[in-house]
Amino acid sequence: MRVLLDGVVQRLSQKGKNDMSMISQRATPMRWWMLTILSIGFVALTLNWFDIASAFPALGQQFHLQIPQLALLISLFIAGYGIFHIPTGFLAYRFGLRNVLLAGLLIEALGAIASAFAPSYAWLGVLRVITGIGGSFFVGCAFSMVTSWFRGRELALALGIATGGAFTFGIALALFVWVIVVQASGWSTALALGGVFCLRSCSRSSSCACRTTNKNNSQQGVLAGPLLVECLGIVTSGCSG
């Protein structure tokens, strides 16, 4: 009898593993597609973070600013980005990762576009903080989503793509390509284009996120969200600062 029961348990266990494998294989294309969309969001994040540096000469000339005042504009972005990581965790737990992530991209995009029309240095500083807050919302939720979708070696690869490759690619765009954009169209147009790019990534993220149907992974990401986002906030703020 014991041998018979052991055989039944083994067959059921193997069947469960096969079912999970089939589910994982079916979910793989959507997971990697969503990772691609999130990676575009990371590109938009660092583009709107550092594109202001390409506009330093033009900003200094228009608002009569010195180098320390110009550098402060990047620091103000980091201030909003770092401080709001902790409330991001609670907001994600309350309203859901997807909603807070999309809100973050929207805030970041609108802040960047509004920066292009800033009438003074003071307003530009305020808008940089707001743009950083939007980036904080996005980053915290994006990390939680990736860690809930992937495991093991796939997780390492996914984090490398999103937070390594895409993050760095956005910086390269901001510091090298956006110099040409500023020279060709002016600093205000260049900042606005960065915001439009972020707005486009928000639209794409919204349309794709509506297709996700794996509720278990979503709930796992939300439940892990507050602590995970706060820890990531401390780490990323320290590294960025």
CATH of the domain at 161: 1.20.1250.20
Structure tokens at 118: 């800033």
Does residue 93 sit within a domain? yes
pLDDT at residue 16 above 90? no
Q: What is the pLDDT of residues 28-85, one digit of tens each?
A: 678 888 899 999 999 999 999 999 999 999 999 999 999 999 999 999 999 999 989 8
25, part of any domain? no
Q: Is the pLDDT of residue 9 over 70?
A: no
pLDDT value at 99 more than 50: yes
- C-alpha distances (whole Å) from 107 to each of 35, 40, 144, 169 are 21, 16, 19, 21
- Does residue 5 fall inside a structural domain? no
Q: Please indicate, yes or no, if residue 17 is contained in any of the structural domains.
A: no
Specify if 46 maps to a domain. Answer: yes
Query: Is residue 61 one of the residues assigned to a domain?
Result: yes
Which whole number is the average pLDDT over 91-99? Answer: 88
- Give me the chain's average pLDDT, please: 80
Pick from 143, 129, 113: which is nearest to 41 by CA?
A: 143
Polymer length in residues for the chain: 241
Helices (H), the chain: 2-54, 56-63, 67-83, 85-95, 97-115, 121-149, 152-159, 167-172, 178-185, 187-209, 215-240
79 in any annotated domain: yes
| 20 band by pLDDT with thresholds 50, 70 and 90 | very low
Residue 19 belongs to a domain: no
Residue, of 90 and 215, whose pLDDT is higher: 90
pLDDT at 219 over 50: no
**Residue ranges making up the domain that contains 158:** 31-240
Chain centroid to CA 67: 29
Query: Taking a C-beta distance cutoff of 8 angstroms, is the pair 112, 48 a contact?
Result: yes
pTM score above 0.75: yes
The total domain count for the chain is: 1
